[in-house]
Structure 1
Amino acid sequence: MSVYTVAHSPDADDIFMYYAIKFGWISSKNIKFENIALDIETLNEKALENFYDITAISFALYPYIKDEYALLRTAVSFGEGYGPKLIKKRGKKLKKDFKVALSGKYTTNAMLFRIAYPDAKPIYMNFLDIEKAVVDGIVDAGVLIHESILDFDSSLEVEKEIWDIWLELAKEELPLPLGGMALRRSLPLNKAIESEQMLIDAVKIANSHKKLLSQMLLERNLVRIDDKKLDIYLNLYANENSAILNEIQLKAINRLFEIGFNSGFYNCPIDVNDYLIPKEYEKLRYS
C-alpha cells in the first residue's frame, strides 16, 4: 500500500471536503492518506518546496509549481458573487499608499489586491489576526478571507469586495478561483488517478451527507464556527460545484492565470487544461 501525505487547511470547507476519508467513508486497498492541517499560506510555501504529496493551494500559486505538481479537478473553492473582503475602520479614508494586512503573498486575493492597489503597502500575517490588526490600528485595512468574512467587528466596514476587483479584471462574470488542490508529479500515474478519484468521491459523499458530516465535525470541535455559520459557509465554498471542475471554472482559472501573466506575476502563459491529470491513461492501460 502506498502512503501519501495530504495537506489541507483547518478551514471549515477543507475539513468538510476531506473528512469523509478521515472518518473511513472512503478507502482503498492501494492507497492510504496521512493528513495534516496548516494555514493556506504555509501550504503555498510548502508547495514551493515540493513538500507534500497532495496539498491544498491558492489557485494564484499554481503557475509557480506547475512543473512539480499537477492540478487536481476536485476540492475546489470559488466565489460566485462573494469572496474575500477589503475592510477598514468605519469612515476612514484610505491614502494611496495605505498599509494593508494580507493573508499571504501567494494567495489569490493578494494577487488581485496588489493589481488593483499597486501603491498599497502589504503586511502579510495569519488571516485570523487581520481583523484585530485593523481594529487596533496596526494597519489601515485588511483583506478578510475564509470564515472571517461572515462576521466581523461592528467598528469595521467593507471598502471593496475582491469579487468586484475580479469582475473588473476578468471583464466578464466568471466564478472567482480561490483554492484547489495539487498532486506531486513524482507519484505513479495510476496512483495519481486513484488518489484524485478518492478525493472526488470524498467531496461527493460529504455533500450528499452534509447534515450528518457537519454534525460530526461540530461534535468533535473540528471547525471554528457554530452550526448556523457552518451551513452558510459550506454553501459558499464547499458545495456541488466543488467536486469536479467544470468548463466555466476552468475558463475562470485560465482567466486568472492570464491576468497574473499580463500583470507580471508569472513568467509565461499557461493553459490549465495542460496541467490536469490525464485520466484517459487508465482506460488505455486496461484496453
Structure 2
Amino acid sequence: MVPPAHGAPCYRRRAVEIRVGHSPDPDDAFMYWALTTDLVATRGFVFQQVLADIQTLNQWARAGRLEVTAISLAAYPFVQDDYALLPHGASIGTGYGPIVVAREPASVDDLRGKEIVVPGVMTTAFLTLRLVLGDVPHRELPFEQIPDEVASGRADYGLLIHEGQLTFSDLGLHKVLDLGEWWLLETGLPLPLGVNVARRDVERLPDLSAVLGEAIRCGLEHRDEALEYALRFGRGIDEAVADRFIEMYVNDLTEDYGDEGRMAVSELLRRGEAIGAFPRPVSIDFVA
C-alpha cells in the first residue's frame, strides 16, 4: 500500500473501484499520468483507465457504464440525470478548435448544403458546426479516418478533431473553417469541447473529484514525465505534434474552469437548446 502524500488525509475505508474512460489521445493520457504513480494520494479509490474513442464514450455514458468518463460537452444534456460535471479535466481552447477541411481552398459559404463527414453527431464539434451552418448534410466516420476520406476524394469536406487539427496539411488539405476561431469571434469565449463527468451514485464524489484534480495539477507540474507517458497513446503521431496538442488542450482551464470556462459551457449549451439539439432543458451541475 502506497502511503499518502505528506499532509494528505489517510483513508482506511474499503477501496472503491473507479473506471475512468478517456480517449486514447496524448492530452487525456497526460491528465491521468499521475494516477499511475505514487505522487497523488488516491483516498481509497482504485483507478482503472478504459480507452475508447469519444463517440463510444458518449454512447457508454448514455448507459451509465463508467464511474468517471470523458464525454463531449454536447453529450452532457443526454446524460445529465446520471452524471455531474467535474470542475476540471475539460478540453477547452481559446481561438482554435475542430476544423473543416477540403482538398481545395474554399469558403464557409461553399459548405452550405454540402455533405460533411463528421466524427459523431454527439460531438461538440458537430454541435458547433450546426451553430454555424444550421442543418448539415453529414455522414459519420471514425475521427481518424476522416482526413484520408477527404484526401482520397471520397468526401469533399471533413470535420477534424484531435491531432487532425494539426496534421491536415501533411495530406495537402486546406482549412475552410476553424470552429474555435468562429466561436471566439461570435462570443468572446473559449470553446469547451470535451468534459469529464462523474456518475452521481459514486461514493464520496467530492473526494474523487479532489483526487482527479490533483492528478491534473501533478501532470502539469511534472510535464516532461507526463509527456513521456502520454506519447504512448499518440497513435503514431510524433512527439512535437503530441506536445503541441497537449499544450493546446491541457491548460489553466483544464485545471479549473473558472468563471470564464463555466460561462462558455453555459453559453454553448444555451445555444444548443435554442436550435433544438437536446431532448429537454439542460441543468448544469458541477461536483462541489
Fold-level similarity (TM above 0.5): yes
Contact 1:85 1:158 in 2 (8 A): yes
Give the aligned residue type for 1:175: P
Q: How many angstroms does 1:148 deviate by?
A: 1.2
Aligned to 2:172: 155
Q: How many angstroms does 1:34 deviate by?
A: 1.1
* SS of 1:252 mapped into structure 2: helix
Q: How many angstroms does 1:64 deviate by?
A: 1.1
Match of 1:197 among 206, 210, 215: 210
Runs (4+) of structure 1 exceeding 3 A deviation are 91-96, 267-271
Match of 1:88 among 88, 92, 102: 102
Superimposed CA distance per residue, residues 80-136 of structure 1 (whole angstroms, 9 cap, x where no aligned partner): 011111001114674632121111111111011123223432111111000000011
Q: Distance in 2 between matches of 1:194 and 1:83?
A: 32
Aligned to 2:273: 261
Contact 2:58 2:72 in 1 (8 A): yes
Number of corresponding residues: 270
Give the aligned residue type for 2:218: I
Unmatched 5+ stretches in structure 1: 280-287
* SS of 1:150 mapped into structure 2: helix
Aligned to 1:98: 114
Q: Distance in 1 between matches of 2:98 and 2:45?
A: 35
Aligned to 1:63: 77
* SS of 1:105 mapped into structure 2: coil
Instruction: Please provide the CA RMSD for this pair.
Output: 1.7
Determine what percentage of the aligned residue pairs are the same residue: 30
Give the aligned residue type for 2:177: K
Give the aligned residue type for 2:233: L
* SS of 1:270 mapped into structure 2: coil
Contact 2:151 2:171 in 1 (8 A): no
* SS of 2:18 mapped into structure 1: strand
Unmatched 5+ stretches in structure 2: 1-14
TM-score by structure 1 length? 0.88
Q: Distance in 2 between matches of 1:133 and 1:154?
A: 11
Contact 2:30 2:226 in 1 (8 A): yes
Q: How many angstroms does 1:47 deviate by?
A: 0.5
Aligned to 1:79: 93
2:258 aligned with 1:246: yes
Aligned to 2:286: 276
